Amino acid sequence: RAKRAERGSFAFFEPEMEAEAQALRRSEEELRLALQRGELELVYQPQLDLGGGGVTTVEALVRWRHPERGVLLPGAFVPMAEATGLIHDLGAWVMTQACRQLARWRDAGLPLRVGLNISTIEARRDGILQTLDRAFAADGITGEMVELEITESLLIDHRHDATRSLLEGLRDRGITLAIDDFGTGYSALSYLKDLPCGKLKIDRSFIATMDRPDGRVLVEAIVGLGRKLGKAVVAEGVETARQLEALRQSGCTAAQGYLIARPMPPSDVPRCIARLQAGQDLRAARR
């Protein structure tokens, strides 16, 4: 490609770009149909409260049960949805679906909060608050039952009007803002003190290196920073008992990861939470 570009001719590019554009349109159409046909699903992963040992929050993660390709992870289709604009429909579907599920759990006597992943593109468009309101109204859900997980990149421009009104709208509704993949963005720490964010989710790359002394120091520093600013701090990607124990000692609020539970269909959630509440896994993890 670079070679062709050096020749300075766009004629070589066009067919290739046209093919790419066509492929994108095809995938868009396929995902649009998938949404209509009910091929998308949400799975839920619990966050274990390291103070009380219970679970109050689960994160919703989208899956595409593709008729030919099997179950697809978000990495395989969310970027395409963002590129085509379909992410707004996908996001609305996620919100509606998750609220419906929250209502089912609530009606079954299991009051839970749900964390929803919102891509920067969704967050920057007007109307996301209205979409949330509609999802809430349909099932009697209130903002206190919902957290929006947004990555740091959105927050760099938190002084801009669109971001500001989103953040204010979240605050008015009592929705918690969680910063996802915390520590991996390129933003300065200074924004943290100005933001109405209630939760930091430490990126799992930091948890993965916790077994090394320097890695552990970093995680402890992030936990300390978050706690001193009055924020809840959740560790993502907790896979070993040693990591869990170190997180507990550091004063981390909650832990999420394969050690505690893998993302699961909603029907498995009540049983998993009961098991975690009983502390069985934790005893096993301590051994």
Q: Which residues here bind ligand C2E, judged by CB under 6 A?
A: 45, 61-62, 73-75, 78, 94, 117-119, 149, 180-181, 204, 236-239, 257-258, 263
C-alpha count within 13 angstroms, C-beta hemisphere, residue 38 = 0
Region at 85 (left for phi over 0; alpha for psi -120 to 50; beta for the rest): left
The distance of closest approach from Cβ of residue 116 to Mg ion in the complex, given in angstroms and rounded to an integer, is: 8
The reply to whether 147 sits near Mg ion by the rule CB under 5 A is no
For 1, the 3-state DSSP assignment is coil
Give the gyration radius of the chain's Cα atoms: 21
- Asked whether 65 and 41 are in contact (CB, 8 A), the reply is yes
Going from the C-alpha of 29 to that of each of 33, 72, 86, the distances in angstroms are 6, 16, 9
Q: For residues 61 and 92, which CB has a smaller minimum distance to Mg ion in the complex?
A: 61
Q: Which stretch binds Mg ion (CB under 5 A): 3-11, 129-137, 144-152, 266-274?
A: 144-152
Q: For residues 226 and 257, which CB has a smaller minimum distance to ligand C2E in the complex?
A: 257
Separation between Cα atoms, residue 132 and residue 108, nearest integer Å = 23
Total chain residues near Mg ion (CB under 5 A): 5
The distance of closest approach from Cβ of residue 238 to ligand C2E in the complex, given in angstroms and rounded to an integer, is: 6
Separation between Cα atoms, residue 111 and residue 142, nearest integer Å = 12
Separation between Cα atoms, residue 90 and residue 44, nearest integer Å = 17
DSSP 73: P
Q: Which of 57, 97, 101, 117 binds Mg ion (CB under 5 A)?
A: 117
Q: For residues 152 and 181, which CB has a smaller minimum distance to ligand C2E in the complex?
A: 181
The distance of closest approach from Cβ of residue 152 to ligand C2E in the complex, given in angstroms and rounded to an integer, is: 12
Q: Which stretch binds Mg ion (CB under 5 A): 113-121, 159-167, 221-229, 270-278?
A: 113-121
What is the per-residue burial (b if ≥16 Cβ within 10 Å, else e) of 135-155?
Answer: bbeebebebebbbbbbbbebb
The distance of closest approach from Cβ of residue 41 to ligand C2E in the complex, given in angstroms and rounded to an integer, is: 10
Contact partner at residue 223 from ligand C2E, Mg ion, none, CB < 5 to 8 Å by partner kind: none
The distance of closest approach from Cβ of residue 73 to ligand C2E in the complex, given in angstroms and rounded to an integer, is: 4
The binding site for Mg ion (CB under 5 A) comprises: 117, 149, 180-181, 236
